[in-house]
Amino acid sequence: MSPNLLGIRIMHRAMRADARRLALLVEELAAGRQQADQERLRAIAEFATRLCAGIHHHHRAEDEALWPVLARSAGPEVDLDGLTEDHEALDPLLEEITDVAARLQSDTGAPASLAKSCAALADLLDEHIEEEERLLFPVILRYVSESDWQQVENAARKGGDIRFDLPRIAQYAHEDELAELRRAAGPVLMLLLRLLNRGHLRRQRLIFGQA
């Protein structure tokens, strides 16, 4: 059987969508078109910090688990240099966003700085993920074994923030994808999703004004 890329497809979609939503929201705040009290600012800062941590964890897992599998399985059929350079460009941007987010409640200039950095992150993620999926997904499906791919997915889950990631996976999965996830995940994980989803929806309403 070929590797099942559903999980990484949904996570890529979630990262891109949330980075863009955050960039647009902070731009609205910086321009005065939206207002935020301290509770909302704290929630936005926490969301930005956890999103950046998740993106960093994702690309580290690719560097440390997926890249070696691709090099071993596909060899000269894949060139990882450009994608690795993108990962190197991501880290200082993620650190900058995290640093500015920590000042969001106390620094009146923070929204403008954060808007600029988040827009740059959203643009870089769009370009990088589109290129990664175009170049690597066909290679993974052709050359990587199902067992090797399972090891990559296990490495990606290890050390992740399931309380943040799991509701977002459900948020951005299409209906047919959700059905597949339900079949594969089993009742325990689906119960955990229902428990986590309540807080996730509450935070989404506070941060973005909607679920």
Average pLDDT on 154-171 reads 90
Give the count of alpha carbons within 13 A of 37, CB side only. Answer: 3
> For the whole model, what pTM was predicted?
0.94
137 confidence band (pLDDT: 50, 70, 90): very high
> May I ask the CATH class of domain 6-208?
mainly alpha
Taking only the tens place, the pLDDT of each residue in 54-76 is 999 999 999 999 999 999 999 88
As given in the structure block, the two tokens for residue 59 are 């690309």
Give the start-to-end residue ranges of the domains of the chain: 6-208
Assess contact for 101 and 49: CB atoms under 8 A. yes
